[in-house]
Amino acid sequence: MQQSAELSTDKNEKAQIYLTLANMFAARDKSKSKEFIKKIMDISPERGDVYLLLASLYSNSINECASTEIEKKAINRLAKITAETAAKVEPRFKA
């Protein structure tokens, strides 16, 4: 599937394949999921849904990545900023 994305010449198709891969890996390999998210952002930075997926990934990683309250707050802040970016690039995501 990744090879299909890499070979595709259509940016929307490529982004959609990477989104499928990012969602597939979100639960079991967050690092790999983030790699696919970054690829989508490079291809289609105007997609707010991708920023929301990344914000969700950050939020769901707090207990795995943070051991102190300061680290947890920092990751929460990063998730919030990323979600706010979704609303900036795609206004339909404004709260």
Per-residue pLDDT of 20-59, as tens digits, reads 999 999 999 999 999 999 999 999 999 999 999 999 999 9
DSSP 90: S
Q: What is the mean pLDDT of residues 8-12?
A: 90
Task: Report d(CA 9, CA 13) in Å as an integer.
Answer: 8
Give me the percent of the chain exceeding a pLDDT of 70.
100
pTM listed for this prediction: 0.89
DSSP 95: -
In this model, does residue 95 exceed pLDDT 80? no
Q: What is the mean pLDDT of residues 82-90?
A: 95
